Amino acid sequence: MYRVPLFDLNYDGQEEQAVLETLRSKWISTGPRTAAFEAEFAAMLGAGHALALANCTAALHLAMRILDIGPGDEVICPSLTFVATVNAIRYVGAVPVFADIVDESNPNIDPDDIRRMVNERTKAVIVMHYAGFPCDMGAVKEIAGEHGLKIVEDACHGPLSEYGGKKLGTLGDVGCFSFFSNKNLSTAEGGMLVTDDAALHERAKLLRSHGMTTLSFERSKGHSTSYDVLEPGYNYRMDDLRASLGLVQLKKLREDLEKRSVVREWYEKALADIDQVLVPFRGHGEFASNYIFPVVLTEVRRKHRDDVRNSLHEAGVQTSMHYPPVHLFSFYREYSRELPVTERVAGKLITLPMYSSLGKSEVEFVATALGNAFG
């Protein structure tokens, strides 16, 4: 057991009661609670439509499908992301084109490198808002507008994070969210696709459930007695058990994120005197979800980074690393290109514990253990 774990789930009796009520309702698959979760999530973001799904990978896949991305098309994406971001591109036979990140202080995709990668085969850009801090969406939208590109936001890290007063996930054509167990909003597994385009929403809804024109819940209530299949779809539905968890988590989200902002302030102060540590996004002005708390070790080799992590683990501090660059994985080597900033930063990244119930004394303990790791 770690003295300070990487993450702590903010569940209590409310989630237990929500699941119990769903079980007692006798409807546990996609139904009224899923619809309520979708409506409340869309309202929270100010989005036109939200579609609850089995996970965010499904959301990313459907984003590619409804935007008509297909074989031979190129999609520009970051390499410093979870592999699902890139897998979704390959699901539809498209080609991932990796763009570099900005720098150590901003490990988001670099708009200048996006611009360099655009050609006549480019159809879309996927951005991933690292740690819940926004990419330069003004520049990304400008490039997309100049070249007629679609924008997909992988906003898994950023529920309620803002850019220019708008919520992440609502700035492109499609936004995708994750509710995996360690996310800001957790339903164990689950995801959400958001869009302001009614036609895109309707097609995603069709594809979510085998291409069928009606769902089981609708037929059970007599709203329809039959269905048609308009195209081959998938089984990407969320169930009402998970949706009931999501509804409770939505009520907690704002307070949870505000507490994380305080934890971040404690970290920034506690780490200020450790010369070997750089905190990305320091001084960021807009509201951010602080999904994770990454730090970059300055001027160290990867082996040294792992030595520092081992020292923290021995002190009782759990850490992680977000993420191994996708272009270096065996499967994606054929799509690889030189990404010097991504590779340099990834070799120096450490993710420290971050959750809303983290205490100031625990943050100071982590900072002391990190300082001690440098002797």
Q: What is the pLDDT of residues 186-213, one digit of tens each?
A: 999 999 999 999 999 999 999 999 998 8
CATH of the domain at 215: 3.40.640.10
Same domain, 151 and 275: no
Average pLDDT, integer, range 214-232: 73
Same domain, 105 and 44: yes
Where in the sequence is the domain holding 239, given as residue range(s)?
Answer: 13-249
For residue 301, the cross-strand partners are none
pLDDT for position 301: 72
pLDDT for position 224: 64
pLDDT for position 325: 98
pLDDT for position 217: 60
Same domain, 226 and 313: no
Residues that are catalytic: 183
pLDDT for position 375: 79
Structural domain count, the chain: 2
Provide the token pair at 73: 């098309």
Same domain, 168 and 307: no
Kindly tell me if the per-residue pLDDT of 298 is higher than 80. yes
Kindly tell me if the per-residue pLDDT of 219 is higher than 70. no
Average pLDDT, integer, range 343-366: 97
Helices (H), the chain: 13-25, 32-45, 56-66, 84-91, 111-117, 137-147, 198-208, 216-220, 240-271, 302-314, 340-346, 360-373
Coarse DSSP helix, strand, coil percentages of the chain, rounded to the nearest 5 percent:
40, 20, 40
Same domain, 137 and 264: no
pLDDT for position 361: 98
**Strand 162-163 with 166-167, pairing:** antiparallel
Q: What's the CA gap between 335 and 330, in Å, rounded?
A: 10
pLDDT for position 223: 64
Mean pLDDT lowest for which of 139-153, 262-276, 288-302? 288-302
pLDDT for position 300: 75
Provide the token pair at 320: 């992680």
